Structure 1
Amino acid sequence: MKRYGIIGGTFDPIHYAHLYIAYEAKKQLDLDEVIFMPAGNPPHKDGKCITDASLRYDMVNLAIQDYNEFSISSYEIEKNGLSFTYQTLEHLKSKDRELFFITGADCLIDIEKWENVSKILSLCNLVVFTRGGINNDELIKQEKYIQKKYEVDITVLKLNQLEISSTDIRKRIKDKERIDFFVPNSVVNFIEKNELYRED
């Protein structure tokens, strides 16, 4: 059975921390491949202005082109309506695939607010990475609670903290500051060519 990691997000834009998380997940969990899943119309960002899905897809595709262990899926972009995680996992699940859903610690804290959480946890192994702003004691408490309530195992990745955010990158572009410390050059060039993030 093949082991597939799935890392979703708006990737608006994708940056080096996303690539690092995917790489460490592949290495630590002995995954065959990590699939990047750019969100089409995520319910938690409903009403917020995000960059056109096709542009975000192209940026992810450029960012992962030098990594044979990474691939990209357009499923959430091409489907109609909101993008719910349980539907994505149902789409990807098959008899010869074991799925590992890679998400931030903030999502673990809020996971019971997600649509059909029991289905999500039945379809995948949940893999969590820590990020700034999350209380470690709160995370450990929530991890134990979810594992006991839903009878699942949760894996917490051991990572170096890279404090890079898409929000900060967008602000730096608007302020005419360099972003090549945080974003692959191919993506920097794409952003400049398409004049992205220059205005709110």
Structure 2
Amino acid sequence: MKIGIIGGTFNPIHLAHLYIAYEAKCQLNLDKIIFIPTGSPPHKKDMEILEASLRYNMVYEAIKNYEDFEISDYEIEKKGLSYTFETLEHFKNDDNELYFITGADCLMDIEKWKYPEKIFKLCNFVVFNRAGYSKKNLRIQKEKIQQKFNTNITFLDIIDLEISSSIIRNRIKEGKRIDFFMPREVLEYIITNNLYNYCNKVMKN
């Protein structure tokens, strides 16, 4: 079985996450995609992140109507910091082939991650572009990492939607609408639970 792995804080999840997952499933002919909300990400220790169960519930609401999309609470239930190589070890077995799907920023920083050599042995490393990263620089980094770790990195051919969780959180602070950027179910969950200090003012603007 070919399984796509998409991890992240999902703070909150938005349409770009779903689009990337769908394109990865189609382009790589994957059997399913597993979304894995992080528990305690080591690279975002100083960032204000919504409580894990709330982020998990938003991901669940976002993907529940998509065939072959699943969610795992592995990193949330795991004690301590969440490292990618440990997550991949958890899901890897003789019956599956893992495809770790991540952004251009992660490719540029992968040598700073814990045990990158284990990551490349456990999965097919799949990268999608993000605003602010030139294709030339990404190609140079791709070739460097492939040679250093004797691996092969796949680039996803996708449209850059330029939606981010930080943009959504900032728009809420500014009292601006966010319904353009996420599934209706996620927006309703945010409103019902008053997440990110969401208030009625946002919907009136």
Which TM-score band (shorter chain)? Answer: over 0.9
The whole-number CA distance in structure 2 between the counterparts of 1:46 and 1:179 is 26
Counterpart secondary structure, 2:127: strand
Find runs of 4+ consecutive structure 1 residues off by over 2 angstroms: none
Q: Which position in structure 1 is the counterpart of 2:201?
A: none
The whole-number CA distance in structure 2 between the counterparts of 1:15 and 1:82 is 24
Letter paired with 2:104: A
TM-score, length basis structure 1:
0.97
Q: Which position in structure 2 is the counterpart of 1:196?
A: 195
CA RMSD of aligned residues (A): 0.8
Report the Cα offset of residue 89 of structure 1: 0.2
Letter paired with 2:119: I
Counterpart secondary structure, 1:14: coil
Q: Which position in structure 1 is the counterpart of 2:177?
A: 178
Deviations 1:104-163 (A, max 9, x none): 011000000000000000000000000101122111000001111111111000001101
Q: Which position in structure 1 is the counterpart of 2:168?
A: 169
Q: Which position in structure 2 is the counterpart of 1:14?
A: 13
The whole-number CA distance in structure 2 between the counterparts of 1:20 and 1:76 is 23
Gaps of 5+ in 2: 199-205
Deviations 1:154-190 (A, max 9, x none): 1000001101010010111122211111011100010
Report the Cα offset of residue 47 of structure 1: 2.2
The whole-number CA distance in structure 2 between the counterparts of 1:175 and 1:110 is 31
The whole-number CA distance in structure 1 between the counterparts of 2:9 and 2:124 is 21
Q: Name the % identity.
A: 58
Matched length: 198
Q: Which position in structure 1 is the counterpart of 2:51?
A: 52
Counterpart secondary structure, 1:110: helix
